[in-house]
Structures are given as C-alpha cells and as structure tokens.
Chain A
Amino acid sequence: MSLIEKLKIRSFRGACCPLELNFKPDKHIALMFGESGCGKSCIVDALEFALTGNFGSLAERRGMGRVDKAKYMHSVGSQSSDLLVEASSGKKKWIATLSRTVPQLTGSDGRPAVSVLRRSRLMSFIEAEPAQRYAGLAAFVDVPNCIASEDALITVIKNIAEEQEKKLSAIERDERALEEHWKSEKSSTANWQAWAQDLAKQDVAASEIESTSLDGLLTSIDRLGRTESDMREAVKSQEETLMALEDAKAKLSAVESSGVTASLSVLLERARDFLRRHPDYPNCPVCEKQNTAEVLASSIETRLNALKEVQQAMANHDNAEKNHKAQLRQATDRRSTFLRVAQSVAQEIGKLQGDCVAVTQDILASCQDVACDDDTKAMLAASTLACALANQVHPLKERRNLLQKTVGKAGIVRRLLAEVQQSRKEWSALAQLKSQLDSTLEIVQKCRKEYVNGILLGVAGQADDMYGRIHKGEPLGGLKLWLEKRTSLMLSGKFGSEVDVDLQAYYSESHLDTLGLCVYLALEKRANAACKLLVLDDVLTSVDQPHLERTMELLQDEAASFGQVLITTHYGRFFDDFKRRHSSGSQVQFIRLNQWHFDVGITEVTCLLPADDLRVAMSASGIDKTAVANKAGRLLESILDYMAKRIECPLPYKDNGFTLGELLPAVIGIGTRFKSGVKNDASKDLPESWTELRPLVQKVYEWANVRNLIGAHFNLEGANLSERDVMDFGTMVLDLHAKLVCPQCGEMVRRDTGSLWECRCRRFCVMPLKYKTG
C-alpha cells in the first residue's frame, strides 16, 4: 500500500479548480510528466503542505517574508479560507488549511513524513560555502542536544579560565601591595617575601596592649587637663564671690555707722503694721501721747523711707554671702574631682608595661604623692602631674601611633599573605578542574567528529556508489565528505587521475547535479526512509539523455528503500522512453498533466502504457482498425528499437528513428540465439527454460505490413484487410511484448550481466548479450 493514495487540492496556488489525483496503491513510484507551467510543482507543494504545513517552493523563494508568502498560497480569485489540501490513504485523511496566514493541520494521526528535493536545494548544496552546505545537511547529521551539552562544557571551561585569571589578578594585586609595604618600610630584609613572612610571624600582642594602654592614658590626660581647668575656673569664681561679699559687708557697716540701725527700721515697720490694723487707736501706742493715728502713720512712713538704703545694703550682703557659699562648694567639688582623676591617671601610668620614654621621673614622683593623705601635698602633686603630663602628650601620642602602625601593618601583611595563599589554593583547584574538563572536551569533540564523519563516510560511500552507476566508466567519483569545523562541511572527489579535487572547479553542471542528487538520496535513505514519501521535483533538468536513463534506473532501484516516490519531469522524450520499457505490471505509475488554463486549472490526462493502450483499442466495441494497427505498430517499434540498441543489431546510420522495415530484419538477424526466459530464483545465473523469440519476430515481420497499410499511411489496399487480420497483428505484437517484459517487475531488460541481459528484479533474462555476425 502507498503512503498516499489520493490527493485532493482546492484553491491551492495553480489549482484554481478542484483537482483529485490518485496514486495507485500497487505502484511504488509515480513519474509525473508535464511541460513547464502545467502544475507539477503546485502538486508537489500541495503534498508538502498537506503533510507538513510548509509553504513548499514558495518558502524557498527569497525576499517575500512569511506573511507575504501565505498570502499567495490560495488560488487567484479565491480566499485563503477556501484553500484545502487533503492527502489520504485508506481510511486515513490528512488535511491542511490556512487560517489567515497560519497553516492548520487536521485529520488522522500518523501523518507520513515527506522529503521534497528541488533543484534549488541541489544547487545550494553543491555551490554553497562549507558552512551553508552543512546547514543544508544539518537535519541529517546534526545532534543538537549533544551539541548543547558540548557548548555548555565549552562555556564552563571558558568561565573557569576567567575565574583563574581573576585569581591571578588578585594574587598579583596582593603581592604588589606587600611589595609596596616592604618598600615604604625601607626594611633591610632582602626581599618583600621574606619581610612579609617575618612580619607575619612577629608577635605584636605586647605592642597592641601598650598601644591600647597609651590610648587610654592619653584620654585620661585629656580628662585630667579638663578637670584641672574646671577646678581653676571654680576657684577663680569663688575668689570673686568672696570679694563681692566683703564689699557688701563694708557697705552695710558704713550705713549702720550713721546711727540708723537695722533694728529701728524693723521697729518702725511693725508700728506701721499695728496702725494699719488699728486705724482708730487714740494715742501713740508707745508714749501714750494724744495723737491721731493718721498723723502718726504719716510720720512713721516718712521715717521708713529714710531707712531704705539700709535695707538695700542688707539685701546685697545676703546675696553676696549666698553666692560665695555656692562657689565655695563647687570649688571644693572640682578640686576633689581633679584629685580623683589625677589619682586615676597615676594608677594608669603605674600599669604601663615596659619602658616608656614619655614617663619621666618627675611624673613617677608625682604619681606617688598624688595618692598621699596630705591633701595639700596631694593637690600640689596632682597639679605637677597634670602639668608634666601635658608636656608629654606629644611624645605619648607618637609612641602610641608608632605602636598602632606596627600592629596595623602586621595585620595587613598577615591578611594579604592569607589572601594570596587562599587565591593560590583556589587557582590550583580551578586548574585541576579545567584540566579535567579540557580532557573531557577533547573526548567529546573527538567522539562527535568521529560520529558525524562516520555518518558522512557512510553517506559518501553510498553516494559514490550511486554516482558510479550513473556515470559508468567515467573517471569521476571518489567522493569525500568531512567536517572541517563543527559546522563546515567539506566536499571533494576524483577527476581522472587527480584525487581530492574541488568538484566545483572540475565537474560540469550536469555532473554536479547528479552528484547532489546522489548525496541527498544517500542522506534520505539514512533517515527512516521506509516511512517517508520522497518527492523529486524536476531535479534532472541539466542531465543529458544517456545519464538521464541511468539516473532513472538508479532512482527506480533506490525507490525500494522509500515508502513511496514521486518524480516530476518536463522531459517528454524521457517520459515516453521510460514508459515504453514498462508494462502494466511494473511498479511505476505514469501521470501526464495537461497544459494549465485559468478555466480548468491543473488537469490530468489519462496516461496508458503502450501495451495497455493497444489492449484498450483492441477491446473497444466497434474496432477502430487504424487505431489498433497504429498502436500495435508503435509498440512494436518501441520494443524492437529498445532490444536492437541493447543487443547492438546492425542498422543503417540515420539521424532519426528506424522503421519497422529496418528493425525487424535486424532483430531477425540475431538468429536462434534470440530468446528470453524467467528464473524461479533471481540469484541463479540462468533460467530453467528459454523461449526462442525468432519465430515470433518472424511471424510479426510477415504481418508488419498491416501497420503500414492502415496504421501509418493512407492506402486504399488497407480497406481490404479484415478486422480479424488487424486484431491478429495486434495480438502477435502483444505476445512478443509479453515475451520481452518481466512478468515480475513489468520491465524490459536493462542489466548487463556479462553474458546476458537481466531486468531490474533479475528474474527475467534475454539472450544474446551482443549481436554476432558470421
């Protein structure tokens, strides 16, 4: 059963009228003939569209863009929604339509695979640069998932190399920093490495402790200075308030010395208060003199006004005394604080370890005195200590800074050395990993190249074998395919004695075409060929007649590997010549297309093989003698011409074809050696029995005039021939044809075994191999 038995096309490109094409289930190959513009490529595109949704040959045309191409998929005068292509086999149907610009595939599951080879693709393979050539074949040899894994490996190796570079940069940066420190130190050590190692080993704990102590001492000295300053300020204020108090006392004494005492003022104030409470009292409450209270009060008020100066002096004295007491307390407090801080500083100095140049003997003596019980002595010592320490702040700071620098540098050197060590360790780990991954990449790439080159080697071998069958006896072939880079496919071959030549430079266009065809056939055979419909769309354009025959023989042989094969051609002669060698029993279906027309679109002509054509004429009711004689004559001519050419019968040199009058004697001249036979087993050399053909040819020869009388020319004598005569002639020709065609494969012989001729399936034989005279 064929993969595709029927193709229905509606409103698809050139098929402006519905077209239904039937592929015979028992025919493995369909050979479709049509002159240019008849619709062959349209039918091929329709098959591709139905099975894949691709736009076929239109997709390969450049400069239109995908959307534009979709716009041209439907026929002129119809809508894209009218478009429908349906391929079917048995009950299975695979439908393709177009929704706006998007192909829609519906129908049964299990769409058959289709591979379409157009001439443009052949040329692109041969003429392309190695990278494009690979792209054309990538579908056959590519392993994208494995390539993705390989790419990831390349990326990881690259990333590791970059990481290593970063580590090296970090090492260099840290080492440079160490060298700079060594230089700035002006160390006597011979090199920075030794210096850094020594410094890193150095114990800086004591320096760190002293630095911290000095830092604390400096803070305390600062505090001591501040508390001393506060104390002095408080003492000064206390002295000022004391002076103010003495002044107030003096002023009060001066006022009191004038006779006006403070007690009188108090007495008068009390009398005034009494009179205010008793305004009607009749006498003076002290002397009992008769007087009005009013007059008395007035007199008291006058006297009190005179006593205000005394009151002011008294108030000033009280304030001055209050201020002085407060300042005295503050001065006492600050003095205590100063002394306490001084004692604390003295303790800190005592804790300082080692020799400190800034701590003089005076300071140490003061430190001892500051803690004594004698307050005056202690205060004196504290002041001495504060003064002495204030003078030592600068050297103390220098000492502290020096210690801090030493400690800090040691820390930096240790950190840098640790970083260098860590970076080196990490770099080594990366180097080891990279080395392992490099080895892995080498293995992966080697395996992939071997794998792909293995495929290419097999393909090249197969293609070379096919090429040799087309170009038999020619010093060509020796095909080599190999990968130069990952995606550059190289191609070379043999030309005469030269091997590995650039084929494009030496081979003709026709030779390159057949080469491309062979390579593609070999590739297609690799990829699940038995389930695939192979379509060869007019790929033999530049091939000449002898090569065309052998190419067709090759295609016919190789077709057995594929599920189904459709070959289109516009060579009429080739089509007819190929047709005459096949009987209805052959595996080839012949399809002929009419000229395309707007009104009818693509149409098919009934295409019968010559023998079938004769049988139809003979079985028609009401015999057409002319038609039967004509068709029998043409069939006879074609089979005799074919055999005479194979056996190389002697015939006069002519530009055009031979007549029956020339062919029949020539074939009869072969003699009794002219015979055919069928082998039960194709592997055997000879058939079990032979049928001698000379008597049959001789008999046909005697009746051949029938064809000339009524089948070829106007001749009144033809009217004398009976229908029976014409039918007998037809039967004789069909009988001879049957004796020259294989009952198994339906083809005439074409294989030269060295001793006889065999058909494609090797079951049918014809003798002799060559005509012999004498």
Chain B
Amino acid sequence: MTNSGPELELAEKITHTLDEAGVFKSASDKDAKNAKEAFLKAFATGQMDSYAWKRLYERAVDKADAQAEGES
C-alpha cells in the first residue's frame, strides 16, 4: 500500500529529528525552512537519492565556506 499518509507521517518525524540534530542549519531561517520542506517532500516520495543525500551536507559546507569567505 503506497498510502501517502504513513509516508508523510514518518518523513515528518524524521525531518523533525534531523532538524533538532542541526542538519538543516542555514545562514537564514528562510533557507533552513526551504531545505526542510524540500527534504520532507523528497524523503516522503522516495526521491532522496545518493546525490540528494550528499548535497544535504555539501550544502551546509558550501554555506559555511561562503560565510567564512564573507567574514574574511
């Protein structure tokens, strides 16, 4: 049964836990919100492929690099 209800319910729980773990931390609240929403949708629909998982953390690295560059 590919009911979107349970998928979404579980995806929301996982997104929330990952958020608490700081995975979606971004320079702005808006960026973090967008990242969370994109992740939730992708996870619940089975579209979190290898590239998307890598990008989840590389995005954070990019942001940190950009921030460090800005500060310097």
Contact = CB atoms under 8 A, between A and B. Distances in A.
Interface of A: 139-149, 152-153, 155-156, 159, 433, 436-437, 439-440, 443-444, 446-448, 450-451, 455, 527-528
B18 A144 contact: no
B23 interface: yes
Most chain A CB within 10 A, of B23, B42, B57, is at B57
16 contacts: A144-B46, A145-B44, A146-B7, A146-B10, A146-B44, A149-B43, A149-B48, A433-B54, A433-B57, A433-B58, A436-B23, A436-B57, A440-B56, A448-B14, A455-B6, A527-B3
A433 B55 CA distance: 10
A588 B65 CA distance: 71
A156 B58 CA distance: 13
A444 B14 contact: yes
A149 B52 CA distance: 10
A437 B23 CA distance: 10
Nearest to B57: A436
A448 B10 contact: yes
B72 interface: no
Give the secondary structure class of B's interface. Answer: helix
Contacts of B56: 440
Given A149-B46, A447-B14, A437 B53 contact: yes
B46 A142 contact: no
A152 B51 CA distance: 9
B9 to A, nearest CB: 7
A148 B42 CA distance: 10
B33 interface: no
B53 to A, nearest CB: 5
Contacts of B52: 152
A143 B17 contact: no
A529 to B, nearest CB: 13
Interface residues of B, number: 29
B69 interface: no
Contacts of B49: 152
Contacts of A446: 17
Nearest to B3: A527
Nearest to A445: B14
A156 B50 contact: yes
A159 B51 CA distance: 11
Contacts, number: 77
Contacts of A156: 50, 53-54
B68 interface: no
Given A144-B46, A443-B18, A451 B10 contact: yes
A178 B54 CA distance: 34
B17 A152 contact: no
A762 B21 CA distance: 52
Contacts of A527: 1, 3
Nearest to A139: B1
A143 B7 contact: yes
Given A145-B43, A152-B48, A437-B57, 4 more contacts: A140-B1, A152-B53, A448-B10, A455-B6
B34 interface: no
B28 interface: no
Nearest to A439: B21
Nearest to A156: B50
B13 interface: yes
Contacts of A455: 6
A443 B48 contact: no
A523 to B, nearest CB: 11
A153 B53 contact: yes
Contacts of B14: 146, 443-444, 447-448
Given A146-B43, A443-B21, A153 B48 contact: yes
A156 B48 CA distance: 11
B6 to A, nearest CB: 5
A380 to B, nearest CB: 71
A155 B53 CA distance: 10
B45 A145 contact: yes
A149 B43 CA distance: 6
A333 B13 CA distance: 96
Given A148-B46, A156-B54, A159-B50, A143 B23 contact: no
Contact of B17 (A140, A153, A447, A528): A447
A439 B57 CA distance: 12
B18 A440 contact: yes
Contacts of B23: 436, 440
Most chain A CB within 10 A, of B45, B50, B54, B57, is at B50
Most chain B CB within 10 A, of A140, A146, A451, A527, is at A146
A145 to B, nearest CB: 3
Most chain B CB within 10 A, of A148, A149, A439, A443, is at A149
A58 B42 CA distance: 39
B47 interface: yes
Contact of A142 (B1, B42, B45, B57): B1
A145 B2 contact: yes
A486 to B, nearest CB: 13
